[in-house]
Amino acid sequence: MKNKRKAIVTGITGQDGSYLAEFLLSQGYEVYGVMRRSSTQPFERIEHLIPRIHLVEADLLDQLSLIRILKTIKPREVYNLASQSFVPTSFTEPVLTGEVTALGVTRMLEAVRLVDPKIRFYQASSSEMYGLAPRSPQTLNTPFYPRSPYGIAKLYGHWMTVNYREGYKLFAVSGILFNHESPRRGIEFVTRKITDAVARIKLGLWDSVTLGNLHAKRDWGFAGDYVKAMWKMLQLKKPEDFIVATGESHSVEDFVKEAFLCAGLSWKKYVEIDPRFYRPAEVHTLCGDAAKARRILKWKPEVNFKGLVRLMVEADIERVSRQLRVS
């Protein structure tokens, strides 16, 4: 029997890790998901995958643990999705964010270089690196101007990936992904916070939701679409960086309106603003130009803005209703 291709996915318990694992399994991969030891099991997003994937313990803070898993698993591809990914936490825990989101990338690149430089490496870079961008849409030539410790940490990881590609000839690529969401998005991120609240308000559990800056604009796509671009990048003949985005930008207020509309509600009655949710430095507008991904990867988003909001609202109404039925 032909040997299956092996892939290691860090951040397997996160939103993207779960979608990427599903996609790699559908492509016939043997998937090794990296989880860190924690006192409670954070398997909510991958419970359904556990019989089909291998979970291995390692931590981006621990260099030797990364070397060990590469030596024992001998993967063809490594997808480095793990990070401290929440921007507000990066302001309150900037050093931890730097250790995981920035230096963690170097630890993984060093492990690849030392154990097997033929391993193909994907780095989960972010549109947050553009921050206060001078123009829109952002392209691969737009200068970076990160506005948070998270954005700065991601920029370091991005340049380390470029540097290991140029310096050591690794097949290392940086995917600059704009915001992507799903029913598996962490509840602290604004889209999921909104759709979860819409569900609770619709079902009579809450009577309001408190948000921060409604004027910020983001280029929101569907996570299930974006993980396919990650994989496509690692199948190319030569390693290159790409932007992955929809090319459409909407405000938080647009998202709120659309989400309440999906539930047949008018948003103004239910939304309160609290400056507690403002950031020390805001990223006002992000909009990505994914022309290169369309051309070379033959990638395009399948889910549009309204479709994304609807699928998230419906999933949250279904989930909260289920919880009510069992309680």
Mark the segment that binds ligand NAP (CB under 6 A) among 9-17, 190-198, 251-259, 285-293: 9-17
Helices 223-234, 15-26: crossing angle, 10 deg rounding? 60
Q: Is 279 helix (H, G, I), strand (E, B) or coil?
A: coil
Single residue of 63, 97, 179, 246 touching ligand G4F by CB under 6 A: 179
The verdict on whether 156 is a catalytic residue reads: no
The verdict on whether 150 is a catalytic residue reads: yes
Catalytic residue among 128, 164, 182, 258: 128
Say how far apart CA 47 and CA 18 lie, in whole Å: 9
Task: Please say whether the dihedral angle defined by the alpha carbons of residues 102, 108, 114 and 119, taken in this order, is positive or negative.
Answer: negative
| Closer residue to ligand G4F in complex, CB, 163/213 | 213
> Contact at 8 Å (CB) between 317 and 263?
yes
Residue 97's binding partner out of ligand NAP, ligand G4F, none, with CB under 5 to 8 Å set by partner kind? none
Say how far apart CA 315 and CA 216 lie, in whole Å: 25
Instruction: Provide the minimum distance between the beta carbon of 316 and ligand NAP in the complex, in angstroms, as a whole number.
Output: 17
Phi-psi region of 211 (alpha: psi -120 to 50; beta: other; left: phi over 0): beta
Q: Is 311 helix (H, G, I), strand (E, B) or coil?
A: helix
Catalytic residue among 19, 150, 164, 226: 150
59 binds ligand NAP (CB under 6 A): yes
Residue 17's binding partner out of ligand NAP, ligand G4F, none, with CB under 5 to 8 Å set by partner kind? ligand NAP
| Sequence letter at residue 213 | N
Per-residue binder mask for ligand NAP (CB under 6 A), 163-202, x = binder: --------------x-xx-----x----------------
Q: In the numeric block, which tokens belong to residue 323?
A: 């919880």
58 binds ligand G4F (CB under 6 A): no
Nearest residue to ligand NAP, scored by beta-carbon proximity: 14
Opening angle at CA 100, ends 76 and 286, nearest 5 = 90
Active-site residue numbers? 126, 128, 150
Residues that bind ligand G4F (CB under 6 A): 85, 87, 126-128, 178-179, 188-191, 193, 211-213, 216, 218, 252, 277, 279, 282-283, 286
